Chain A
Amino acid sequence: MRPTDIRSPEYFHKVVDCQWACPAHTPVPEYIRLIAARQYTDAYMINWKSNVFPGILGRTCDRPCEPACRRVRVEKEPVAICRLKRVAADHKEDVRGLLPRVPAEKNGKRIALVGAGPASLTVARDLLPLGYACVIFDADPKAGGMMRSQIPKFRLPEEVIDEEVGYILEMGVEARFGHHVDSMRALLREPYDAIFVGSGAPRGRDLDLPGRQAAAANVHVGIDWLANVSFGHVHRIGERVVVLGGGNTAMDCCRSARRLGGQDVRVVVRSGFEEMKASPWEREEAVREGIPILNYLVPLEFTVERGRLTGVLFEKVRAVYDANGRRELVPTGEPRIHMPCDDVLIAVGQETAFPWIERDLGMEFDRWDRPVLDPVTMQSTLPRVFFGGDAAFGPKNIIWAVAHGHEAAISIHRLCRGEDVHDRLPPTVNLVSQKMGIHEWSYDSEISPDERYRVPLAPQAVALKNIAVESELGFDERLAFLEAQRCLNCDVQTVFTGSRCIECDACVDICPMDCITFTANGEEEDLRARLRAPARNLTQSLYASDALKSGRIMVKDEDVCLHCGLCAERCPTGAWDMQKFLLDMAQATDVPKHACAHR
């Protein structure tokens, strides 16, 4: 193996599993330490810079960081990264003074943004401080996109949306709300320097089964129904409700129905429980609220009597796998099941729709009728038009919409300055020793053995009565501290200086996780098999040194390192040091090219 190049920003970034997994690359351990130190405002601002909506995401994020959390590899559950983010938002002071200043003098460039969801709002937030004029169109009366129209209020209170969307609107967005954009051709004719399409994936799939038309009054497309609930057009639902579908939308539908008069609410899914698309925690909540989830049932027909829905007819299936492991659902032959109900909510998926974009503008669409985009720059084949969020690659989530927004903002800024949009700044990286004394580090190196703390909930009797009551109460300061202490500080890196090492083995012996080995060099595959503990997790790097005095090399398997710093404490020569790695993603900025690429 060749010695590891720790100067490449990628190497240590990958060690910070959560930050690596976050689409916006939020410096997670950095803000968690600040929460433990009760510096909530600082923790909030770190989040705000990366992910724009800490209060919203701290309640709703899909949290790709959590399954990636190193803690999962040493015990059962990840750090509650997402809910700690909410703590920063809940306990912060007024941050208005800390937000970037928007110059009074504009740079003369005008940008149109279609849709006021998280993707467009992120683009606006990044560009407004640079002097751009940002005009946002949305058919809805208020900004927020699906964060406002879809996510039920018991998961995300209106005030939180108002506050965080407000920070951006107050920067001087030119809002055109209640305005549906009907023609891209027309928009292109207006004097905009660039157009950003953040129109989401607004079309909910329907189920065209017998009885659908006759029962129309009581069969609703889930996302339309949720929007009607959010905007106060719908206040009630029947006592018996069947929700069709196994994703997060189905979970929001059933839990909303439970709060709007549904007594016997059930979720019916074609597939098995394990294959359901809904996040495990969403499923858990539904079950906790007394909503049964019934699997392997395929809907056949909406039954109707005297012009009114009476129920849904299902066929029981089982999963059969062919030689290639492909699943097929095969009827079991059991008698059909009729579930009587008063209302049905269809939550079987959503898709993008661009009826307002003419197809003769020179903008290419692929065979799924999605715009052809550069996945890095988010640029369409019309150089002035960029896409992001659900509109770009189909429905994802808020944090991806934010990440797309940042990238599109960089592209738009470069385009407007006449630069190549492909030429992008690397992240800035900072690596600093945390040593304060012989056994003192500037971070809390002791490892908490505690299991994951549960977020306290509002009593069900209260929560189920009113859809506006937030079901989670959030961590209080004590719980937040205890949970924050579970973080392993994966950004405090073990940095090895071979020229100092006397090969005394002290680090090998103290390491609780058998990470470190001194051995003869070899190919990576061979080395992985003969380390002190075999390095079987191929997604995690080996850190290899140059040849040492004895001819051997030091190899560290990053996989389950606790970042406890014991190796560095035991090292008599300082060959190991604990150094904090802070990586900041490049965002749209006026700093000249490469000026901030110091590593």
Chain B
Amino acid sequence: MTYIPKPGFRHPGAAVNAIGYARRDYEGAVSTLCAGCGHDSISAAIVQACFELDLPPHRVAKLSGIGCSSKTPAYFLGQSHGFNGVHGRMPSMLTGANLANRDLIYLGVSGDGDSASIGLGQFAHCMRRCVNMVYIVENNGVYGLTKGQFSATADEGAVKKDGAVNPESPIDLVALALQLGATFVARSFSGDREQLVPLVKAAITHRGAAFIDCISPCVAFNNHAGSTKSFDYVREHNEAVNRLDVIVGRGEITAAYAPGEVEEIVQHDGSILRLRKLAAEYDPRDRVAAMTYLEERKAAGEIVTGVLYVAPDARDLHDHLETVETPLNQLGDEELCPGADALAAFNAGLR
């Protein structure tokens, strides 16, 4: 971390977005993570995405568990709502918040330890229920905060800084998310800002459970030779299936692309994800094919990144439960507590 405050001066030519904010208005406190931590890069990508989407900061809620990754919501969106909960419990807290106020944009930030170890059950149910949220796992293959023990996503055969080799097989959170019913699934790398920013924007605009597994090197404990989550290793093995070049609003004119080169996916709100294909046969709307493809490429030693799956017309938890449209904090006492007669009538309906 740094001891001097980040100066208030800004580039005199800094752009402002449609609601009058500059990118730096979406920053948070200065990070206390290790210098060079991949997690800081992800924070910066979130800042950039929210700036580009013209999001009013007070419409965003950030929730997290425990870990270096889970600390990061302090370092971005300083003007948004935030809740730092117990280890592995971000999904249930976020689900509750979302049920109470469906109007906010929910950003769940977690780590591989937080989500794949102690919070695996929470992760699974939140995906399965299709809570409308962005779920980002900042995946470094270790418990960074507790000094670098292997986490459940560490690859078999990966070497720890002290030389120990991981004998266990890893949990692939992308495979799990696909299998459990997440409706937007992507993988990226903290060191590839150009890929990550559009993915975060797409995940935010997506309605449903949008999961991003973001490989994020831990410079303190997992960035050495023998690590499979280091800058060098990920750069060498990264194979993107597609490039999400732009997200455009409803009815915008499309840029010129050769036919077959580009795929456009229209989401529920009319926004369009424009994907430039890199793997010709890859279809991000085919969940089963995606799962097979991922397994094949993993066996070949590749780290597949990009938009891996989208269900553009997904139904979320509120749709499933047929909840009231209005956030609870906007309902009056009478609507929230309709009284004994209403209860009696309801019970009678179940007899």
Q: Do A and B bind each other?
A: yes
Residue pairs across A and B with CB atoms within 8 Å: the count is 92
Contact (Cβ within 8 A) A447 B3: no
* A595 CB–B CB distance under 8 Å: no
Instruction: Give the CA-CA distance A512 to B191 in the complex, in Å.
Output: 20
CB distance from A568 to the nearest CB of B (A): 10
* A502 CB–B CB distance under 8 Å: yes
Contact string, A511-537, partner B, CB cutoff 8 A, digits 1/0? 011100000000000000000011010
* B8 CB–A CB distance under 8 Å: yes
* B13 CB–A CB distance under 8 Å: yes
Q: Given known contacts A504-B219, A572-B219, is B3 in contact with A512 (CB within 8 Å)?
A: no
Contact (Cβ within 8 A) A505 B41: yes
**Dominant SS among interface residues on chain A:** loop
Contact (Cβ within 8 A) A509 B44: yes
Chain A residues contacting B232 (CB-CB under 8 Å) are 502, 549
Contact (Cβ within 8 A) A566 B2: yes
Contact (Cβ within 8 A) B41 A506: yes
Q: Given known contacts A74-B9, A504-B191, is B35 in contact with A569 (CB within 8 Å)?
A: yes
Contact string, B222-248, partner A, CB cutoff 8 A, digits 1/0? 010000000110010000000000000
Contact (Cβ within 8 A) A570 B35: yes
Q: Given known contacts A502-B36, A570-B35, is B41 in contact with A564 (CB within 8 Å)?
A: no
**Dominant SS among interface residues on chain B:** loop
In chain B, positions 1-54 with a C-beta closer than 8 Å to chain A are: 1-14, 24, 30, 34-38, 40-41, 43-44
Contact string, A469-511, partner B, CB cutoff 8 A, digits 1/0? 0000000000000000000000000000000001111101110
Instruction: Give the CA-CA distance A549 to B9 in the complex, in Å.
Output: 32
Q: Given known contacts A439-B2, A504-B219, is B191 in contact with A447 (CB within 8 Å)?
A: no
* B193 CB–A CB distance under 8 Å: yes
In chain A, positions 531-587 with a C-beta closer than 8 Å to chain B are: 533-534, 536, 549-550, 560, 562, 564, 566, 569-573
**Number of contacting residues on B, CB 8 A?**
34
Contact (Cβ within 8 A) B231 A503: yes
Chain A residues contacting B1 (CB-CB under 8 Å) are 439
* A328 CB–B CB distance under 8 Å: no
CB distance from B300 to the nearest CB of A (A): 22
Q: For residue A449, which residue of chain B has the nearest CB?
A: B8
* B111 CB–A CB distance under 8 Å: no
Contact (Cβ within 8 A) B2 A510: yes
* A446 CB–B CB distance under 8 Å: yes
Contact (Cβ within 8 A) A564 B11: no
Closest 3 CB pairs of A and B: A572-B36, A447-B7, A509-B44
Residues of B within 8 A of A (CB): 1-14, 24, 30, 34-38, 40-41, 43-44, 190-191, 193, 217, 219, 223, 231-232, 235
Residues of A within 8 A of B (CB): 73-75, 439, 445-447, 449, 502-506, 508-510, 512-514, 533-534, 536, 549-550, 560, 562, 564, 566, 569-573
Known A-B contacts: A505-B40, A509-B44, A549-B235. Give 11 more (CB < 8 A). A74-B9, A445-B4, A446-B4, A447-B9, A504-B217, A504-B231, A508-B44, A512-B8, A569-B2, A570-B36, A572-B34
